[in-house]
Structure 1
Amino acid sequence: MNPRGLLKDITPPLLMKAYHKWRGQSLRFGGTPQGWNEAARMSSGYSESAILDRVRTATRAVVAGEAAYERDSVLFDKADYPFALITALLRAAASADMRLDVIDFGGSLGSTYRQCRPLLDAVQHLQWHVVEQPHFVEAGRQEFETDELHFWNDISDVPEKTGRRIFLLSSTLQYVEKPHEILARATEVCASYLIIDRTPMADLEEDFLSIQMVPRRIYKASYPCWIFSEGRLSEHLEKDWTTIYSFLCTEGFHRTVNGLEFGFKGLVMERKP
């Protein structure tokens, strides 16, 4: 075991959290922008090409078997399965002769697909469609597309479903200007299930716009990030969807520099008849 892995195994969680904060590795949120345009001006932005290069390099390592998985271009040498998500995928497949069709909105170069795939052997037919920005789609098609994994520029480009369709939003919804419009697209693609994963939520009357600072170990950047009102989110979704279960994600709870406490949570929802 390498020294970093040993440190992680023997150090109490609270001390590890303090260590990561000291190293600049904790997620940080601040600012009170009055709208998306102001939030964009307050953010430093990032180099799209630099991020793609890092993600592509990390993805190559995972595909080559040199790492278990990657997240946000960071490599991990030990598998960490998102069981709440995998349970939902298997539940959906079981209701359709183990046939599954996933639209993974903002799915990078297939990070979630590769993290889940080892535990989806029971699925007889799997089609995983990543919808991403054009430069990610181009890279995905050039190097990482398979008979199961596909890349598209827009939701409307995804072919007709060939199994139980899931609309997946994993650590994506908070980074788009009009997230509630994206949620509406789930009904347009005839999805039977909607999964929201790794998404910041709080006990608020309205959605709160903040600035997320990326940990220095990943890349230097900051960008707008929504912290969603759980009540408003539920109100928006309850017309078309029934909540099967909710869960707390591994990112846990955080607090903005302004004192707002929130948690990264997930929802698994089924389309109402």
Structure 2
Amino acid sequence: MINYLRRKKRNKPEYGWFGRYSSWQDASAVADGYEKENILEKTKEALLKVKRREAVYERDSVLFDKKEYPFPLISFLLHTALQKEAPLHILDFGGSLGSTYFQVKEFLTPRVCASWSIVEQEHYIACGQALFEDEVLKFFHSIDECLAAYPVDLIILSSVVQYLPDPHRFLDSLTAHGFEAILFDRTAFVKESKDRLTVQKVWPNIYEASYPTWFFNEVGFLKHFAREYEIKAEFKTYVEGEAVVDIDHEPIGYEKGFFLVKKH
């Protein structure tokens, strides 16, 4: 029995989410960080194949031969455009080089989408402006820079808030901006009484990297929006394997989304 338990422990995956860190600095000290050049390079090459129609779909730098659609996101895009009775100016915060844009592009008719803007890290912006911008897709260094160019109707945050050093300060800034609609997708939560800071060790078939990752207490996360926003819908992630997430090999994490609309 002892040998069996030892083998079982050895066979546990070494990739995934681990730890309980007291600060972003502590977690960063044992992680590579999201700024690694190999992440951008692999994402760029994958999305160029999608843009050239040599591949169907990209997610997290991985190419797929069959597209998976984020149907809740598409539904709320169409709903918001219908409510506005005009095409939307969309801000995709942390949208990489346009992963979601290319994923749903066939639904972004001129009656639905007037502009799709991405705010990202500096090296992503330079790459995006050089290789991926078109008449609809644009790249900006900050939310304020984007707002100076377009009157944003909807901000999308897909798998991004959990990778910010100070996420609660950022969430407060969202309410201060007063966006009419906020869409959170693939956001990480934990079945614990408070937030948990981990280090994510990425599976090497995606790319070699590790970085700090938050898992939020859902009640505390939503408190940021209780006064100014109404929760119109909550929904499960469309990505297989993200509905339940192991942290230190325990199934206590999960990813889900929320669609929030400003109260009037």
Task: Give the deviation of 1:106 after TM superposition.
Answer: 0.5
The separation in 1 between residues aligned to 2:125 and 2:59, in whole angstroms, is: 17
The separation in 2 between residues aligned to 1:266 and 1:117, in whole angstroms, is: 20
Is 130-139 or 174-183 further displaced after alignment?
174-183
Q: Could you tell me which residue of structure 1 aligns to residue 140 of structure 2?
A: 152
Q: Could you tell me which residue of structure 2 aligns to residue 167 of structure 1?
A: 155
Please say if residues 101 and 161 of structure 1, whose CA atoms lie closer than 8 Å, have aligned partners that are also in contact.
Answer: no
Structure 1 residue runs without a partner (length 5+): 1-21
CA 1:101–1:57: 2 relative to 1, 3 Å:
same
Q: Could you tell me which residue of structure 1 aligns to residue 250 of structure 2?
A: 259
Please say if residues 204 and 231 of structure 1, whose CA atoms lie closer than 8 Å, have aligned partners that are also in contact.
Answer: no
Q: Deviations over 1:35-73 (max 9, x none)?
A: 110010121336622211111101100001111111111
Secondary structure of 1:158 counterpart: helix
Aligned ranges 1:1-273 → 2 under 5 Å: 28-45=16-33, 48-121=36-109, 123-160=111-148, 165-249=153-237, 250=239, 251-257=242-248, 259=250, 261-273=252-264
TM-score by length of 2: 0.88
The separation in 1 between residues aligned to 2:86 and 2:103, in whole angstroms, is: 19
Please say if residues 244 and 251 of structure 2, whose CA atoms lie closer than 8 Å, have aligned partners that are also in contact.
Answer: no
Task: Give the deviation of 1:124 after TM superposition.
Answer: 4.6
Please say if residues 99 and 163 of structure 1, whose CA atoms lie closer than 8 Å, have aligned partners that are also in contact.
Answer: no
CA 1:161–1:205: 2 relative to 1, 3 Å:
farther
Secondary structure of 1:95 counterpart: helix
CA 1:122–1:49: 2 relative to 1, 3 Å:
same
The separation in 1 between residues aligned to 2:37 and 2:86, in whole angstroms, is: 38
The separation in 2 between residues aligned to 1:173 and 1:180, in whole angstroms, is: 9
Is 230-239 or 148-157 further displaced after alignment?
230-239
Please say if residues 165 and 190 of structure 1, whose CA atoms lie closer than 8 Å, have aligned partners that are also in contact.
Answer: no
Task: Give the deviation of 1:28 after TM superposition.
Answer: 1.0
Secondary structure of 2:260 counterpart: strand
The separation in 2 between residues aligned to 1:27 and 1:83, in whole angstroms, is: 29
Structure 2 residue runs without a partner (length 5+): 1-10
Task: Give the deviation of 1:241 after TM superposition.
Answer: 1.0
Secondary structure of 2:40 counterpart: helix
Task: Give the deviation of 1:261 after TM superposition.
Answer: 0.6
Please say if residues 86 and 116 of structure 1, whose CA atoms lie closer than 8 Å, have aligned partners that are also in contact.
Answer: yes
Secondary structure of 2:224 counterpart: helix
Please say if residues 193 and 268 of structure 1, whose CA atoms lie closer than 8 Å, have aligned partners that are also in contact.
Answer: yes
**Aligned-CA RMSD value:** 2.1
Please say if residues 240 and 272 of structure 1, whose CA atoms lie closer than 8 Å, have aligned partners that are also in contact.
Answer: yes
Identity across matched positions, percent: 34
CA 1:123–1:181: 2 relative to 1, 3 Å:
farther
The separation in 1 between residues aligned to 2:201 and 2:227, in whole angstroms, is: 34
Please say if residues 36 and 209 of structure 2, whose CA atoms lie closer than 8 Å, have aligned partners that are also in contact.
Answer: no
Please say if residues 233 and 259 of structure 2, whose CA atoms lie closer than 8 Å, have aligned partners that are also in contact.
Answer: yes
What letter corresponds to residue 234 of structure 1 in structure 2?
L
Please say if residues 214 and 220 of structure 1, whose CA atoms lie closer than 8 Å, have aligned partners that are also in contact.
Answer: yes
The separation in 1 between residues aligned to 2:62 and 2:82, in whole angstroms, is: 33
